[in-house]
Amino acid sequence: MMTDKVNKIVVVSLCEGFTNKVCKALADSLGMMFCGVSDLLEYEIIDKDAVKNNVSLTYLKQLEKKAIKQASTFENICVAISYEQLVPNISYFKDNSLIVFVDLPKTYIKQNAPVDYIRYNDRKEELEKISTTVLSIRKTETDAVVAKIIKALGGVL
């Protein structure tokens, strides 16, 4: 855990679209830069479909790991990351970031991220273990969620 002033906040939930939207708004509110890891990966792998058709899954995972490692070195940033990207790469963020798990209602996940809904309980439990802060959210309005994150992190921001 960091002891100095926080300069990296990692936001994760079980709905990537929600995570990106909230993390972007959080970055704007705090005057920090925003990094969506999926966007960074798409930038790093310009022609994803060509890469998928012409290289191995192992190579793709290596490219993904490289981009995630790079994102972990950024400062003054809010990082939006998916469960699939964070868990195998937690070592890059664990000691230099505040990791905020936004625990959305199961019904929201079912409607907006059906794959994560199938594994909801296991993924939720894993994210609770590796996160610095867990926020159970019932109202999913972006402004309300951002305010709740800022309040929860108030002592370290």
Q: What pLDDT, on a 0 to 100 scale, did the predictor assign at position 6?
A: 62
Range of the domain at 63: 8-152
For 46, the 3-state DSSP assignment is: coil
Q: What pLDDT, on a 0 to 100 scale, did the predictor assign at position 155?
A: 62
Q: How far apart are CA 123 and CA 12, in angstroms?
A: 11
Query: Is 140 inside any structural domain?
Result: yes
Query: Is 138 inside any structural domain?
Result: yes
Query: Is 157 inside any structural domain?
Result: no
Listing DSSP states for 91-132 in one string gives HHHTTTSEEEEEE--HHHHHHH-HHHHHTHHHHHHHHHHH-S
Query: Is 1 inside any structural domain?
Result: no
Query: Is 2 inside any structural domain?
Result: no
For the record, the structure tokens of 137 come out as 């959210």
Number of domains forming the structure of the chain? 1
pLDDT one digit per residue (tens) for the chain, 157 residues = 344 556 899 999 999 999 999 999 999 999 999 999 988 877 766 555 666 666 667 777 788 888 899 889 999 999 999 999 999 999 999 988 999 999 999 999 989 987 777 789 999 999 999 999 999 999 999 999 999 999 998 866 6
Q: What pLDDT, on a 0 to 100 scale, did the predictor assign at position 118?
A: 79
Query: Is 137 inside any structural domain?
Result: yes
For the record, the structure tokens of 72 come out as 């972990």
Q: What pLDDT, on a 0 to 100 scale, did the predictor assign at position 39?
A: 84
CATH assignment at residue 98? 3.40.50.300
Q: pTM of this prediction?
A: 0.86
Q: How far apart are CA 9 and CA 93, in angstroms?
A: 9
Of 157, 155, 96, 86, whose CA–CA distance to 126 is shortest? 86
Query: Is 52 inside any structural domain?
Result: yes
Q: What pLDDT, on a 0 to 100 scale, did the predictor assign at position 52?
A: 62
Q: What pLDDT, on a 0 to 100 scale, did the predictor assign at position 51?
A: 60
